[in-house]
Amino acid sequence: LDADGAQPVTLTARAGSHSFVPGTKTPTLGYELDYLGPTLRVRRGRSARIDVVNRTGDEISAHWHGAFVPGKMDGGPQGAFAPGKTSSARFDVHQPAATLWYHSHVHGKTGTQVYHGLAGLLLVEDPAAPDGLPADYGVNDLPLVVQDRSFDSSGRLVYNTSGMTLMSGFLGNTICVNGAVRPVADVPRGLVRLRILNGSNARFYDFGFDDGRQFHQVASDSGLLPAPVARTHLALAPAERAEIVVDFSGDNAPVRLVSADFARSGMMGGGMMGGGSGAPATYDIATFVPGGAAGTGPTALPVSLPAPPFDLGAPVRTRDIRLDMHAGTMMGSMLRRLTGSNGGVMGINGRSYDMGRIDAELKLGETELWRVAAPMMTHPFHVHGCSFQVVSRGGQAVDPATEGHKDVVVVDARGVEILVRVDQKADRATPFMMHCHILEHEDAGMMAQFTVA
């Protein structure tokens, strides 16, 4: 759906019911659809106009994850609006081409609302910078929203955040792509671009193909890489995106996209991923059936891509950010949680999220070095209102050409350094968020907010 035309696009959020598995139906939420929302497209140099109507029974929001929009258009916790109300997003699109997304962001309810379907893709295109990649949406340019879900014996979605689930984040036992279990897609015998969003609440993936074939990554969260990067597997944490190009030109048999469990480091890592969730070590994501002609797409990958420059410059200050699980009081916190008192188990720099408190004040357009650490376990850290550059991981320099511009970065005990510059204003009434994108951690308070002036 083009969301940058003369007339606003209307997304009516509502309750629905959806068949993940043929023959069963379960209550869900969606923006305009029964489950998830339509892929929105906006073009650089134009203005997005999106009216979100709330016909669900609860307050919701629509956060434009990765979009460079001012705080008042960001749709974060302060942007929540009641049933019956409409929230109008109007913003100029001035960022490079990228695969972004949108989702509800109501504090304490993000996990359940996204889980039940309040999410969709937001694609930014740049008409002035053609990338030479496959771009025939639905033919050789396919979106893959990958999410793990759990169902009970009658096929109804199951969601809970009790006990250990809170610590690991909710892990489903069934992988869905665009709301379908193990979908099969017909693709041309040629180059195919896959835009992959890890839209899961908490699961990490390590994607690859069943035959171990090489593919090329061409974009990460916030835009193109300077040149295609050859890979045989690709790790994506919750909320991360990647665009890859796969060559199906020589294929006569179906090719399966699979995932291995991401090896999460730290003491609470790996064990939690496989254990308890019932998921096997490797699982099917989707199957591609190459057929017919190569179509009208390009037959060779470009050697270079019109990637955004790395131009953040030298930082003017340093900020330390620690993602806390309140070590030492963990059992106590879990018990409080189990007995129903939401005492804020998680936090940032020792404090659990508070909508009424501003945690940091940034200066518009000033570059900062953020040293982010997560002593207890691995967390995907996200910042609103910008993209950032990963400088180092565990003290080792990172190559920006293979990492690209990011808005989510995986952080563990070894720490990560990122260069952050926010060029969008955000006042005290509608600040930007920084948070863990394991939605159960975010809902439990592993989030902070900042102004930009």
Interaction between residue 65 and Cu ion (CB under 5 A): yes
The DSSP result for 270-328, as a single string, is HHHHHTTT---SEEEEEEEEEES--TTS-SS--SS--PPP----S-SEEEEEEEE--TT
User: Number of C-alpha atoms within 13 angstroms, CB side, residue 292?
Assistant: 12
Measured CA to CA in angstroms, residue 149 lies from 38, 145, 283 at distances of 20, 12, 14
Interaction between residue 203 and Cu ion (CB under 5 A): no
Interaction between residue 241 and Cu ion (CB under 5 A): no
Measured CA to CA in angstroms, residue 310 lies from 106, 290, 373, 390 at distances of 33, 37, 23, 11
Largest CA distance in the chain: 61
Nearest to 367, CA basis, from 416, 438, 319: 319
Contacts of 297 (CB under 8 A, 6+ apart): 134, 135, 136, 139, 140, 188, 190, 191, 192
Of 7-15, 59-67, 90-98, 304-312, the window that binds Cu ion (rule: CB under 5 A) is: 59-67
Site for ligand C2O in 232-261 (CB under 6 A): 239
Of 89-97, 252-260, 418-426, 431-439, the window that binds Cu ion (rule: CB under 5 A) is: 431-439
* Partner whose binding site includes residue 426, from ligand C2O, Cu ion, none (CB under 5 to 8 Å by kind): none
Question: By C-beta, is 405 or 441 nearer to Cu ion?
Answer: 441
Pairing between strand 347-348 and 255-261?
Answer: unpaired
Instruction: Pick the binder of Cu ion from 116, 264, 379, 393 (CB under 5 A).
Output: 379
Number of residues that bind Cu ion (CB under 5 A): 6
AA letter at 2:
D
Interaction between residue 103 and ligand C2O (CB under 6 A): yes
CB of 348 vs ligand C2O, minimal distance in Å: 13
Query: What's the CA gap between 282 and 261, in Å, rounded?
Result: 7
Question: Which backbone phi and psi does 335 adopt, to 5 degrees?
Answer: -65, -40
AA letter at 133:
L
Of 13-21, 312-320, 326-334, 432-440, the window that binds ligand C2O (rule: CB under 6 A) is: 432-440
Question: By C-beta, is 89 or 185 nearer to ligand C2O?
Answer: 89
CB of 338 vs ligand C2O, minimal distance in Å: 27
Number of residues that bind ligand C2O (CB under 6 A): 10
Contact at 8 Å (CB) between 383 and 435?
Answer: no
* Partner whose binding site includes residue 438, from ligand C2O, Cu ion, none (CB under 5 to 8 Å by kind): Cu ion
* Partner whose binding site includes residue 441, from ligand C2O, Cu ion, none (CB under 5 to 8 Å by kind): Cu ion
**Residue the block writes with tokens 């889980």:** 115
Instruction: Pick the binder of Cu ion from 109, 241, 405, 441 (CB under 5 A).
Output: 441
Question: By C-beta, is 190 or 431 nearer to ligand C2O?
Answer: 431
Of 15-23, 227-235, 345-353, 430-438, the window that binds ligand C2O (rule: CB under 6 A) is: 430-438
Interaction between residue 105 and ligand C2O (CB under 6 A): yes
Instruction: Pick the binder of Cu ion from 103, 384, 393, 405 (CB under 5 A).
Output: 384
Query: What's the CA gap between 129 and 60, in Å, rounded?
Result: 35
Of 116-124, 248-256, 352-360, 371-379, the window that binds Cu ion (rule: CB under 5 A) is: 371-379
Measured CA to CA in angstroms, residue 268 lies from 11, 70, 167, 275, 377 at distances of 39, 37, 9, 11, 6
Question: By C-beta, is 42 or 229 nearer to Cu ion?
Answer: 42
User: Number of C-alpha atoms within 13 angstroms, CB side, residue 353?
Assistant: 26
Site string for ligand C2O, 369-388 (x = CB under 6 A): -------------x-x----
Query: What's the CA gap between 414 and 32, in Å, rounded?
Result: 42
* Partner whose binding site includes residue 14, from Cu ion, ligand C2O, none (CB under 5 to 8 Å by kind): none
Task: Please work out, in degrees rounded to the nearest 5, the angle formed at the alpha carbon of residue 69 by the alpha carbons of 64 and 74.
Answer: 50
Instruction: Pick the binder of ligand C2O from 116, 216, 337, 435 (CB under 6 A).
Output: 435
Interaction between residue 63 and ligand C2O (CB under 6 A): yes
Q: Which residues bind ligand C2O (CB under 6 A)?
A: 63, 65, 103, 105, 239, 382, 384, 433, 435, 437
Q: Which residues bind Cu ion (CB under 5 A)?
A: 65, 379, 384, 436, 438, 441
